[in-house]
């Protein structure tokens, strides 16, 4: 093993795999097992043309899906690489961060961009579940603050797209402290009377749901996404309650009054555009 195989090669592989897979023309839907033509699948933003299943979408793809063509730029989130607790499980935390960065080609579990939707200024912060399960540590908190501050500075709406297992255990109590910290971030947007929209995607659980992700002016969710505070397994194992099959799905949450609407990827840009038009028109007047 040398420097190239260790760090550069995986990065190149990650890049290649995420953008195009020439040797892999067909892809199997993880839900209905239908074989789908890769190019069609990609153009449908990872949605199955047969059953409509939504497979997780990387932040960059999400930006392409929601923003007006060529309207956005990604903002740099300052990345923390230190180890405040000196945390070690099977690996030391800094080593785990480094390995994950190499493997995924991204710096942490959040990406921030600014651009426009239907001509209206919008900042989007999107989680990346591939990075340590989208867990929220200090860098994710920093990303949310950057997004909120940018929205306020540019008089833009804020959209957050969570996908996270919850707080990042390796940062211990400091990850729990990102709950109030992230709430303060979105409070800045509220105080500026700018719209704050949450688009819940699969999966969003734990400390992320118990903070900024449930406080949107408008709560949207993707079809089939699992959203909840305690995970299904925890509930089944600790309190031994019987749970319905569709428990904690986006549709179940809507039935229980927890989200405004469930919106398929094909409709998201248009729906958000319409919502922002309503919210920002009277505000401007």
Partner 1 sequence: MRHFLDFEKPIAALEGKIEELRHLGGNSGMNIAEEIGKLQSRIDKELAQTYKKLGPWEKVQVARHPERPKMVQIIEHVFDEFIELSGDRAYAEDYAIIGGMARLRGRPVVILGTEKGSTTEQRVKRNFGMVRPEGYRKAIRLMALANQFNLPVISFVDTAGAYPGRGAEERGQAEAIARAIQSCLGLKTPLISAIVGEGGSGGAIALAAGNRVVMFEHAVYSVISPEGCASILWRSGDKAQTAAEALRLTAQDMHALGVIDQIVEEPLGGAHRNIDTALQNLATSIEAQLQDLSVMDAEALIKDRREKYLNMGDKALI
For Zn ion, the binding residues (CB under 5 A) are: 29, 31-32, 34, 48, 50-51, 53
**Lookup: tokens for 209:** 């749901």
Q: At what angle do helices 59-66 and 265-284 cross, to 10 degrees?
A: 60
Q: Which does 48 bind (CB under 5 to 8 A by kind): Zn ion, partner 1, none?
A: Zn ion
3 state DSSP class of 270: helix
Under 8 Å between Cβ of 161 and 122: no
**Lookup: tokens for 198:** 């949450």
In 3D space, the residue among 281, 269, 271 whose CA is nearest the CA of residue 117 turns out to be: 269
Q: Which does 249 bind (CB under 5 to 8 A by kind): Zn ion, partner 1, none?
A: none
Residues 38-77 touching partner 1, rule: CB under 8 A, are none
Greatest Cα pair distance, the chain, in angstroms, is 63
The only residue of 134, 141, 143, 162 in contact with partner 1, by rule CB under 8 A: 141
Cβ closest to Zn ion, residue 16 vs residue 32 = 32
One symbol per residue from 72 to 101: x for binding partner 1 (CB under 8 A), - otherwise; what is it? --------x-xxxxxxxxx-----------
Q: Which does 181 bind (CB under 5 to 8 A by kind): Zn ion, partner 1, none?
A: partner 1
Cβ closest to Zn ion, residue 53 vs residue 98 = 53
Report how many helices (DSSP H) and strands (DSSP E) the chain contains, helices first. Answer: 11, 11
**Lookup: tokens for 104:** 């995924």
Shortest Å, Cβ 91 to partner 1? 10
The only residue of 75, 177, 192, 264 in contact with partner 1, by rule CB under 8 A: 177
Establish if 209 lies at the interface with partner 1 (CB under 8 A).
yes
Q: Torsions phi, psi of 170, nearest 5?
A: -65, -15
Cβ closest to partner 1, residue 61 vs residue 83 = 83
């Amino acid at each position: 093993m040398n420097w190239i195989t260790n760090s550069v090669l995986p990065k190149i592989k990650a890049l290649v795999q995420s953008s195009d897979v020439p040797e892999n023309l067909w892809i199997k839907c993880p839900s209905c097992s239908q074989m789908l033509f890769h190019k069609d699948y990609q153009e449908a933003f990872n949605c199955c043309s047969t059953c409509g299943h939504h497979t997780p979408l990387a932040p960059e793809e999400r930006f392409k899906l929601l923003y007006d063509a060529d309207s956005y730029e990604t903002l740099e989130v300052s990345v923390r690489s230190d180890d405040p607790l000196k945390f070690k499980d099977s690996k030391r935390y800094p080593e785990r961060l480094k390995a994950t960065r190499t493997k995924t080609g991204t710096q942490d579990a959040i990406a921030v961009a600014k651009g426009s939707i239907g001509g209206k200024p919008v900042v989007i912060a999107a989680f990346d579940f591939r990075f340590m399960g989208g867990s929220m540590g200090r860098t994710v908190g920093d990303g949310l603050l950057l997004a909120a501050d940018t929205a306020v500075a540019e008089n833009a709406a804020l959209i957050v797209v969570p996908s996270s297992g919850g707080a990042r255990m390796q940062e211990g109590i400091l990850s729990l402290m990102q709950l109030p910290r992230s709430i303060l971030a979105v409070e800045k947007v509220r105080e500026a009377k700018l719209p704050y929209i949450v688009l819940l995607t699969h999966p969003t659980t734990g400390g992320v749901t118990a903070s900024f992700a449930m406080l949107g002016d408008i709560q949207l969710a993707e079809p089939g996404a699992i959203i909840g505070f305690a995970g299904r397994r925890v509930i089944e194992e600790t309190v031994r309650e019987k749970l319905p099959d569709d428990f904690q799905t986006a549709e179940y949450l809507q039935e229980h009054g927890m989200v405004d609407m469930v919106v398929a990827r094909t409709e998201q840009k248009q729906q958000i555009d319409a919502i922002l038009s309503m919210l920002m028109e009277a505000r401007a007047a």
